[in-house]
Amino acid sequence: MNKGTSLAVGVIAVAALAAGGGYWLGTRGAGHPSSVEMAAAAAGGAPAANGKKERKLLFYRNPMGLPDTSPTPKKDPMGMDYIAVYEGEEDDEPAAANQIRISTEKVQKLGVRTEAAQLRALDKVVRASGRVEPDERRLYAITPKFEGYVERLHVNITGQVVGKGQPLFEVYSPELVSAQREYAIAAQGVESLKEASSQAQAGMKQLADSSLLRLKNWDISDEQLKALAKTGEARHTMTFRSPVNGIVTEKKALQGMRFMPGDALYQVADLSAIWVMADVFEQDIGLVKTGGKANIRINAYPDKTFEGTITYVYPTLKSETRTVPVRIELANPGTLLKPAMFAQVEVPVGDKGKVVTVPTSAVIDSGTRRIVLVQAKEGRFEPREVKLGQRSDNYVEVLEGVKDGEPVVVAANFLIDAESNLKAAVGGFGHAAHGSAPKQEGAAPGTDHSAHKTSHRAEGTVESIDAKAGTLSVNHGAVESLKWPAMTMEFKVANEGLLKDLKPGAAVAFEFVERAPGEWVVTTITPTSAGKGGTASAANPHAGH
C-alpha cells in the first residue's frame, strides 16, 4: 500500500470516530436530564425531559415505625434518617399496633372475602330428635271388677282396629249371675208391693236400687239392665265392649282363662291424636316455650310435614344425653303416625328484633376467646375480640366488638391467621406470646406488625453495660429484617441473667423483639469471638423465655 492510500484510510477512520462520538454525546444528553432539570421536577412535579413525571414528596416518617412525621428531612434520637413518603405511598404508613397488614396481591391469592355486619332478625330453629308415642289420656284398659272366666273372644288379635261399642269378649261369673237374679227379684218385689204399706214399698225399693247400683259398678251396660228389668231373666254371660275407636295394643285374655278383679285383659289406644316426645339439648331448652309450634318430619313420609303444638316441657334432665323431654301434641288423621316411629323435630323460636350479626364463618373461636377480623382498609385487618349472643344457621349475634356496617372477613380468615400469625397482633389485648413470627409481606421499612412476637437478629460489639437498669449498648451491624443500617443503640434485656459474665468489648450475636413501640428487648445473646474487652461467656439462650 502506498502513502496516498494510507493517508486516505486514516482520514476516513478519524471522521467515523468523530461521528460516533457525537451521536453518543447527543443520545446521552437526550436521555438524562441535568441536575437542574431534576431538581425543578422534584420541587414542582414538572415533567422531565424523557416525558415522565417525578413523584411528589409528601412528608418524612419515623424509620422505627413510630407515629411521627416531619415535613423536612430529620434524624431520630438514634441517628437514623426519616424515610421519605411520596404521593401514592400514603398507604405505606405503619399499620396500627393491633392491625395485620397483608399485601393486596397476597389478599387476592388467599381469596379473602368480606361482608358488612348487618342488623337482622335471627331466625333460629331448634332441632331435636323424637319418637311417636300414644296420648296417655287416650289409653283404655278393659278390666273386669269381679271374678270370672273368659267364655268367648270376639277380638283375638293384638293390633286389630276396633270401633266404639264393638264386642271384645264375653265372660261368665257366678257372682254376676247372682247379682242379676237379686236385682230381678227386687224389681219384681217393687211391682208386687204397690198395694202394700209405704214402709214395705220403701224397703223393697231400697233393695232393688242397691242391686242395680251393684250391677252398674260392675260396668253392666244400660241395655243389659233394661233387658234384665223387663224380662227378669239373668243372662249367663256378660259382653265387654270397646269404649272408643282405636287399636288393640294389648290382649291378655285367653279362651277359657280365669281372671280376678282388676286384671287388665285388653288395652285399646285411640290414635286419632298422638304425642311426639322430643329430646331437646340442654343449651337450647331456654328457647323452647309452651304453646309454640313445631314441625315434624317422619322418615316414612319424607314428602310430608306434620305440625304440632308444644304442650309441656318436662322439669327433668336426662343426665346420660343432657337432654330435656318436650311433649308435642298433634292430630293423626288416617293413623299415619305409628307409636315408636322416629321423628325429626324443628322448633322455630321467636327472635328479639333486629340485632348486629355477622356470618358464622367470620368468627375464629380459639376456645377461650372469639376473634373477628375487621377490614380497616385495603390490605389491613384488625383482629377484635367479640362477645357473641344467639345463633342461627348462618349468622351469629355480636353483642360487643363489631358495629353495624363494619366489613368483616368471612372467607380465608384462618389463612390470614396463618399468614400473619394472628396471635402476635392479638397480643395487643394484653396476652403477648413467646416465639417468633415471619415479617409480613409488603410491610413498610422499619415497621414491625408483630412486635410482640417477631424476633430479629443482629451481630455487634458490646459498648457498655448498665446492670442496675438492665440495659446494654451495642454497636451492631445492619438488621435486614427491619431495614436498619449499622449503628450503636441501647437495648433492654429480658432478664438480668443475660448480662451475666458479659463485658464491654465482647463480640456477640443476639436476638431482640419490640415489646412496645420504640422499646427493643434482647431475648438471647451469645458471644461469637474475643473482642477488645476479652472473651464473654455464653449467656443462657433461653433465659428470656
Strand partners for 161 = 247
Flag whether 535 is in a domain. Answer: no
Distances (CA, A) of 242 to 141, 166, 303, 441: 9, 5, 35, 84
Q: What is the CATH number of the domain that holds 491?
A: 2.40.50.320
Whether 158 and 205 share a structural domain: yes
Dihedral of CA atoms 112, 441, 456, 507 in degrees, nearest 10, equals: 160
State whether the Cα torsion 354-360-365-367 is positive or negative: positive
275's CB contacts (< 8 A; 6+ apart) are: 132, 133, 134, 135, 136, 327, 328, 329
Place of cell 259382653: 239
Burial of 346 (0-12, 13-18, 19+ CB in 10 A): middle
Within 13 Å of residue 312, how many CA atoms lie on the same side as its CB? 10
Whether 173 and 236 share a structural domain: yes
Flag whether 447 is in a domain. Answer: no
**Three-class DSSP category at 254:** coil
100 and 413 in contact (C-beta within 8 Å)?
Answer: no
Strand order of the β-sheet with 354-359 is 118-121, 354-359, 395-400, 387-391
Flag whether 440 is in a domain. Answer: no
The DSSP symbol for 494 reads S
**What element of type H or E holds 190?**
helix 174-192
Strand partners for 531 = 534
Other beta carbons less than 10 A from residue 171's beta carbon:
21
Structural domain ending residue among the three candidates 312, 343, 374: 343
Output the tens digit of pLDDT for each of the chain's 545 residues.
444 444 444 434 434 444 444 444 444 444 444 433 443 444 444 454 455 557 778 788 776 656 577 888 888 776 777 778 776 555 544 555 567 777 777 777 778 888 999 888 887 889 999 999 999 999 999 999 889 999 999 999 999 999 999 999 999 988 888 888 888 787 777 777 777 777 777 777 788 788 888 888 887 777 777 777 777 777 888 889 999 999 999 999 999 999 999 999 999 999 999 999 999 999 889 889 999 999 999 999 999 999 999 999 999 999 999 999 999 999 998 889 999 999 999 998 866 678 899 998 889 887 788 888 898 887 788 888 899 988 877 888 899 989 998 999 988 767 766 655 544 444 444 433 333 333 444 333 333 443 344 788 899 999 999 888 889 999 999 988 888 888 888 998 888 888 888 889 999 999 998 877 778 889 889 888 644 444 333 333 333 33
Whether 416 and 492 share a structural domain: no
* C-alpha span between 42 and 87 (Å, rounded): 12
Residue 497 has a pLDDT of 81
Residue 88 has a pLDDT of 59
The DSSP symbol for 160 reads -
Residue 448 has a pLDDT of 40
Flag whether 534 is in a domain. Answer: no
- List for the chain the helix, strand, coil content (%; round to 5): 25, 35, 40
* C-alpha span between 76 and 241 (Å, rounded): 105
Whether 113 and 177 share a structural domain: no
* C-alpha span between 533 and 531 (Å, rounded): 5
* C-alpha span between 521 and 529 (Å, rounded): 22
As a whole number of Å, the end-to-end CA separation of the chain is 88
* C-alpha span between 356 and 373 (Å, rounded): 16
Whether 321 and 247 share a structural domain: no
Whether 185 and 227 share a structural domain: yes
Place of cell 397480643: 427
Whether 298 and 237 share a structural domain: no
Flag whether 380 is in a domain. Answer: yes
**Three-class DSSP category at 359:** strand
Flag whether 130 is in a domain. Answer: no
Residue 280 has a pLDDT of 95
* C-alpha span between 204 and 417 (Å, rounded): 99
Flag whether 438 is in a domain. Answer: no
* C-alpha span between 466 and 498 (Å, rounded): 12
Q: Residue 227 is placed in which grid cell?
A: 233387658
Q: Residue 444 is placed in which grid cell?
A: 413498610
376 and 358 in contact (C-beta within 8 Å)?
Answer: no
Whether 255 and 294 share a structural domain: no
* C-alpha span between 354 and 356 (Å, rounded): 7
Q: Residue 37 belongs to what domain range?
A: 1-54
Within 13 Å of residue 3, how many CA atoms lie on the same side as its CB? 0
Q: What is the pTM of this model?
A: 0.50
* C-alpha span between 42 and 23 (Å, rounded): 29
Other beta carbons less than 10 A from residue 123's beta carbon:
13
Residue 531 has a pLDDT of 44
Whether 249 and 167 share a structural domain: yes
Q: Residue 166 is placed in which grid cell?
A: 264393638
Q: What is the CATH number of the domain that holds 310?
A: 2.40.30.170
Whether 88 and 111 share a structural domain: no
Whether 336 and 404 share a structural domain: no
Q: How many domains does the chain have?
A: 6
Q: What is the 3-state secondary structure (H, E, C) of 294-341?
A: EEEEECCEEEEEEEEEEEEECCCCECCCCEEEEEEEEECHHHCCCCCC
Distances (CA, A) of 293 to 125, 133, 350: 11, 18, 11
* C-alpha span between 34 and 382 (Å, rounded): 47
Strand partners for 509 = 459, 526
Q: What is the largest CA-CA distance in the chain?
A: 190
Strand partners for 427 = none
State whether the Cα torsion 16-18-19-24 is positive or negative: positive
State whether the Cα torsion 371-373-376-381 is positive or negative: positive
**Three-class DSSP category at 147:** coil
Structural domain ending residue among the three candidates 343, 364, 383: 343
Burial of 376 (0-12, 13-18, 19+ CB in 10 A): middle
75 and 82 in contact (C-beta within 8 Å)?
Answer: yes
Strand partners for 330 = 274
Whether 157 and 239 share a structural domain: yes
* C-alpha span between 374 and 362 (Å, rounded): 9
Flag whether 488 is in a domain. Answer: yes
Structural domain ending residue among the three candidates 263, 281, 311: 263
Q: Which residue type sits at 506?
A: A
203's CB contacts (< 8 A; 6+ apart) are: none
